[in-house]
Chains A and B, each alone.
Chain A
Amino acid sequence: MADDGYEMVIERGKVREFASSVKSTHPAYLEDEAPVIPPTFLRASAFWAPRRAARPRPEGGGGGSGQRRPGLGLHAGQEYEFFGPPPRAGTKLRVTSRQEDSYTKEGRRGGTLTFTVTVQEFRDGDGNLVAIGRNTGVATSRPATQG
């Protein structure tokens, strides 16, 4: 179900940090004053989304050993589609998300795998769709050492 979403601002320093973290030295990311975003940059929408782990928790409970129970969810796939050049630093995006699909498969080593496809839509200030993210998550019944 679509919601009203939230704002995400593309910032030059964040683009530089993200590009470096995925081992890019391309001047279009590191030197341009208004760089385009790397293809998977929109994952950093986690910093703008309400109720996400990337948001500050002054009361503690930031996760990790002793604080957080292991989850059994894994990331199975991700897609990004751009309807023109990727957005540049300085762009304000409106982010909405919705669940697109959910299905189950039998795992190779027994147990049922539940896949959920979640779509994020990113629109500019004029309401134009500039990018779509499509996240496939899978919930397993035990920790997986592969896949």
Chain B
Amino acid sequence: MTISWDDLKEGLTPEPWDVGPLSRTDFVRYQGASGDFNPVHHDEVFATGAGYPSVFSVGMLQAGILSTYVTNWLGPENIRRFTVRFSEQVWPGDTLTCAGTVVKKYDDGGERKVDLELTCTRQTGGVAIEGAATFVIPT
């Protein structure tokens, strides 16, 4: 299912995507896949000893989930830029909502592109990630 260039308009918002509740197993699965073995994300003794209420998610897990949301929409081959800034941490049991908006539609040296603004929000309403992405839209 491919969205057409004509359908893409500035201000367009794809259907948001809810993911969760996230578990410690989700954190561990991501840590194994990515090679980030910081124990603060899986070792409860370590995390509480460091002053945290529990383990918490790897920022790049929710960043990856946000990238899944946009690549599902505009295509894995078409992404050219993906950027995230981490705000609130994500905790076991959290459910995340990924959302986005087309903010710019343009021709870049013969390539048709769109820029998106993205958010990944916790069930509390707190923003975990503010992000952005650029995609090419093939002819």
Contacts and interface: CB of A to CB of B under 8 A. Distances in A.
Given A36-B77, A78-B60, A44 B34 contact: yes
A111 to B, nearest CB: 14
Interface residues of B, number: 47
A145 B71 CA distance: 30
A21 B32 contact: yes
Given A21-B61, A39-B79, A77 B86 contact: yes
B67 A22 contact: yes
Given A39-B79, A86-B77, A145 B52 contact: yes
A112 to B, nearest CB: 19
A54 interface: yes
Interface string B59-72: 11101110110011
A39 B71 contact: yes
Interface in A92-120: none
Interface of B: 19, 26, 29-30, 32-40, 43, 45-46, 49-53, 59-61, 63-65, 67-68, 71-72, 75-89, 133
